[in-house]
Amino acid sequence: MQKKLRITVEGKVYDVLVEDLSDNGLGLPAAYPSIAGTGVPSFVAAAPMAAPPPAAAAPAVAGAGDEISPLAGMVESLAVSVGQKVAEGDKIAVIEAMKMKTPIMARHSGTVTNIAVTAGQAVEAGHVLMTIG
């Protein structure tokens, strides 16, 4: 299939006739003139498009007593265990993001009733880390 195109290069207008070789009926790649100026045509084959990665699951809605991650990263360590009493401001976990370690502090006092993550686990901002009741 041929198409007539107008191309402007550095203010000069050129009318050109272009032949589309991408679908030549033979399943062969399209041939293009040599970029190096050798006169030998270059061949370009289109790579198949990869499927997009699956969307990350939305973080669970935090309930009363849930401590959530304020940023996306990797849980580097947990400083508490189930049944442990914590006071507001105590360090409960460390999250690493972009080689920076961010301590996560308890927002309120209570007893750790559930830990929803493990060290080495990736988390998104808003992800429930644990529950303090």
In this structure, are residues 8 and 14 in contact, taking their beta carbons and an 8 Å threshold? Answer: yes
Q: Domains plus CATH for the chain?
A: 2-44 (no CATH), 66-132 (2.40.50.100)
Could you report the per-residue pLDDT of 110-128, keeping only the tens digit for each?
999 999 999 999 999 999 9
pTM above 0.85, yes or no: no
Q: Give the mean pLDDT of the chain.
A: 81
Scan for tokens 């990350």, then name that residue: 56
